Amino acid sequence: MTDITELTLSETLNGLGSKEFSSVEVTSAYIKKMEEKRHLNAFITETPEKALEMAKASDTRRSKGHVGKLEGLPIAIKDMFCTKGIKTTAASRILSNFIPPFESTTTQKLWDAGAVCLGKTNTDEFAMGSSTITSYFGVTKNPHNENCVPGGSSGGSAAAVAAHMCAGATGTETGGSIRHPASFCQVSGFKPTYGRCSRYGVIAYASSLDEPGVLGRTIKDCAHMIEVMMGYDPKDSTSSRKEVPELHKMLDKNIKGMKIGIPREYTELVPSNWESALTFLKERGAVIVDIEMPHTEEAGMVYYVISQGEATTNLARYDGVRYGERAPGETLEEMYMNTRMLGFGQEVRNRIILGTFFTSAKGYYDYFVPAQKMRSLIKQDFDKAFEKVDVLFSPSVPIRPFTIEEAKHGAAKGRFNDTYLMPSCLAGLPAGCAHNGLQVIGRQWDEATVLKVLDVVEEIK
Ligand code: GLN
């Protein structure tokens, strides 16, 4: 038999269904791949024993006729999702010994559907970054060029998918952290509308922006995983009660007559396949419409003010008292200070300090409130666009992956990293990109159309 890890997630599900191989066989093949590629540092924690145990249980279930939507499928989990009994660190020293006593809702849904846990993937510390360079556990290498970063913050997941160390992986986006590494590692990435996936048990960075999502080798693979993760959760007050469609069945390759908008502001820098991409979509029957998104340039600033303000509040809980690492001190206050100085890396500390300012009595009215107003205007740009078109299409990250060395010197803060990604996060809209780096953004709740168009976009060379 050929190497099972070469198959896509959808093909693996078919193979498991036709009993071509068992979950234990698929899982063992992935565990072997994880060992071979360990030097990439895609995982913070590998859970091979747990994986084999879950795979055996899955094979038993299948033999009794109980087959979940992802039955027997080995996947990886970004280390921002709490997993019961498995170390969960957010790639931070402050949580380096944290073993959650509970499971995040989205990962629970994956296990309930039969998926198998291979381990926890690397990320920028608390998902703050675009390279995994801020991880306490060291940078992840890009499987396509090991001198380069995998992008971030979900860089471990993207690298693991690209290097065939898992069939698919979870990620989180706050300001582009799935699409960015997906683009750098040439895999697919997708995040649904804010509120579709529960944030319960996902370590909080910026609560009004954080969104769980997926990375896979194809768009169909992403569809399979995300439809399992989506759905109402009473444990998350922002969770949507909307019904979840069977997304993987809706990819019919038909985009005839569909109106695809190109935001002018997202084409300032385009990749070399851009013109041929537009021709391709026209040939498939789509109507291309020029769109204006006048508040795009402000998105970066707005994102940083809001996310850092929210991060300051969310990260206040790491005080060395309830969980995580503690550094001793003479007084309680000193213990707090020592713990937080030792436990948080530089990038996280910077953001906490700025966020504290943005939410202080003065900073609040000078920065935080104006940023919220601008966020509404950014959302309105999308509302207006979607009066005219069905989806928006653009490059996701129009630059090539930078080297680890360049990342150490600030390349991850470059302007073109997240410019085309952050606005859709601020508006909470469904968005994804294909392995060729081209992205599609859709209307609120309309994951189906975004995935459908991406499934066609995926064919563009
Ligand atoms: N790269 C952005 C940042 O540095 C976005 C991160 C994210 O989406 N988690 O914050």
DSSP-derived secondary structure for 97-137 = T---SS--HHHHHHHHTT-EEEEEE--SGGG-SSSSTT-TT
At 183, the pLDDT band (50, 70, 90 cuts) reads: very high
326 within domain boundaries = no
Report the pLDDT value the prediction gives residue 410, as an integer from 0 to 100: 86
Q: What digits encode the pLDDT tens for the residues 445-456?
A: 999 999 999 999
Report the pLDDT value the prediction gives residue 413, as an integer from 0 to 100: 80
Measured from the CB, is residue 125 less than 6 Å from ligand 1?
no
Test site for ligand 1: of 80, 121, 125, 128, most ligand atoms within 8 A of the Cβ: 128
C-alpha 301 – ligand 1 centre gap (Å) = 12
- Which atom of ligand 1 approaches the CA of 422 most closely? 5
Which one from 10, 157, 177, 424 is the annotated catalytic residue?
177
69 belongs to the catalytic site: no
Q: What digits encode the pLDDT tens for the residues 288-326?
A: 999 999 999 999 999 999 999 999 999 999 999 988 889
Measured from the CB, is residue 114 less than 6 Å from ligand 1?
no
Q: In this structure, what CATH number is given to the domain that contains residue 183?
A: 3.90.1300.10
Report the pLDDT value the prediction gives residue 2, as an integer from 0 to 100: 77
Q: What digits encode the pLDDT tens for the residues 83-106?
A: 999 999 999 999 999 999 999 999
418 within domain boundaries = no
Q: Which alpha helices (H) appear in 212-368, and where do they start and end?
A: 219-229, 274-283, 299-314, 332-343, 346-358, 361-363
78 belongs to the catalytic site: yes
Report the pLDDT value the prediction gives residue 8, as an integer from 0 to 100: 98
Residue 340 has pLDDT above 70, yes or no: yes
Residue 273: other Cβ atoms inside 10 A: 15
Q: What digits encode the pLDDT tens for the residues 258-299?
A: 999 999 999 999 999 999 999 999 999 999 999 999 999 999
330 within domain boundaries = no
Q: Which amino acid is at 156?
A: G
- What percent of the chain shows pLDDT beyond 90? 96
CA 342, 159, 145, 273 torsion-angle sign: negative
Q: What digits encode the pLDDT tens for the residues 375-397?
A: 999 999 999 999 999 999 999 99
Residue 1 has pLDDT above 70, yes or no: no
161 within domain boundaries = yes
426 within domain boundaries = no
Measured from the CB, is residue 153 less than 6 Å from ligand 1?
yes
Token pair recorded at residue 336: 């707090």
At 202, the pLDDT band (50, 70, 90 cuts) reads: very high
- Torsion angle defined by CA atoms of residues 143, 144, 150 and 154, in that order, rounded to the nearest 10 degrees: -60
Q: What digits encode the pLDDT tens for the residues 6-29?
A: 999 999 999 999 999 999 999 999
Measured from the CB, is residue 193 less than 6 Å from ligand 1?
no
At 327, the pLDDT band (50, 70, 90 cuts) reads: very high
Test site for ligand 1: of 92, 124, 209, 348, most ligand atoms within 8 A of the Cβ: 124
Measured from the CB, is residue 128 less than 6 Å from ligand 1?
yes
Q: Which residues pair with 391 in a beta bridge?
A: 260, 442
Range of the domain at 92: 4-250
Average pLDDT, the chain: 97
- Counting the structural domains of the chain, the total is 1
Residue 173 has pLDDT above 70, yes or no: yes
- Which residue do the tokens 């979940």 mark? 68
Which one from 33, 37, 69, 78 is the annotated catalytic residue?
78
C-alpha 174 – ligand 1 centre gap (Å) = 6
Q: Which residues pair with 168 in a beta bridge?
A: 216
| Cα gap 94→90, rounded to integer Å | 9
* SS3 assignment, position 215: strand
Mean pLDDT in residue range 130-142: 97
Does this model's pTM top 0.85? Answer: yes
Q: Are 78 and 202 in contact (CB under 8 A)?
A: no
Report the pLDDT value the prediction gives residue 322, as an integer from 0 to 100: 85
112 within domain boundaries = yes
457 within domain boundaries = no
315 within domain boundaries = no
Nearest to 74 by CA among 16, 18, 127: 16
